[in-house]
Structure 1
Amino acid sequence: MFETASNTHPRYENEQSGPASVDTQLYALIALATVFGIGHHVDHVVRGNHVGWPLIPEVTVFTYTLAVYPLIAVGLYLTLTERVGAGYWAVLLGTLCLVVTVVHFGPWAIEPPQDVLGPYENVFVGYGALAWLLGFVGTLLVATGYAVYRWQTTRSIATR
């Protein structure tokens, strides 16, 4: 006789996978992370180290990281068509955050901060590139946290 919110209001029908779990703030964080990613790839090209195919014949980590852009495009399409939601973004952004951090920082870094600073003759440009990288990691961390929050929040709403 009494219907629950999940089946009386269309907004609650597909909370876990639809646009309801991906709000304006998450879209903005995804866009900002994408801009930082593009800028960081451009930085690799400008400084001329740690690049790979399609700029040189060798396939490197750089080459594999270019796959993120089709994953973002597919994710946006699937989000807008209500097939995925914040969970997709939490996994993708979290994975990117982990990869970028491990590749650039820590004892196993294959592209440490020295490799970002070193190629630039002007120390301010080098530190600007490093600041950009730190902004990228920070944005990925915040975006991942927010995506997880939206995913968990909309899942708890959907189960009520």
Structure 2
Amino acid sequence: MSMQRLDHSALDLFANLDISSNRDSGDYITIPLSPYQSYTEEDKEEYKISDDDEREIVERGIKLRRGQQKFRDALLKRYNNTCVITGCKIVDILEAAHIRPYRGKNDNHPSNGLLLRADIHTLFDLNLIAIDPDTMMVHFHPKVKNEYALYDGILLITNAGYKPNVEALASHYKNFKSGA
């Protein structure tokens, strides 16, 4: 059962209830409810397990991101299968993040990418994380800073010779600072 806000008007149902005669007998107290107040038929039915997929299928147009796998592979190699912020080495949850959003094949250049753990990638895309292009220090937005305090203020983990594009980081950092 989940916690829910109490509707104080519901307590009016008990205002004129005489329970003194039932206290000692151990009988249950039955409170008559109108159909509006009672459970629905669906609430009375038990959940039945089914393997049928009843979801509606919807066709949508998406923009193809050519080279995404090649981009990820290049970042995995460049950063030694390691998240550049957390140091996580679980390849299954590491994602190739674009510093500047993908708009075409030129944006799949490895220096426009960071290898990030999935949750960190989401925060990066939401401008809740940024990297100072001058110091390579990681900064978290106040909304998430407490949750990720361990990583706030650390230096980006990079391999010798492989650094992210400073101009791309500066652009992302500017958006982070402006709250965009």
Please state which band the TM-score falls in when normalised by the shorter chain: under 0.3
Q: Structure 1 length normalisation: TM-score?
A: 0.28
Q: More strand per residue: 1 or 2? A: 2
The structure whose Rg is larger is: 2
More helix by share: 1
Whose RCO is larger (CA < 8 A, sep 6+)?
Answer: 1
Provide TM-score, normalisation by structure 2.
0.26
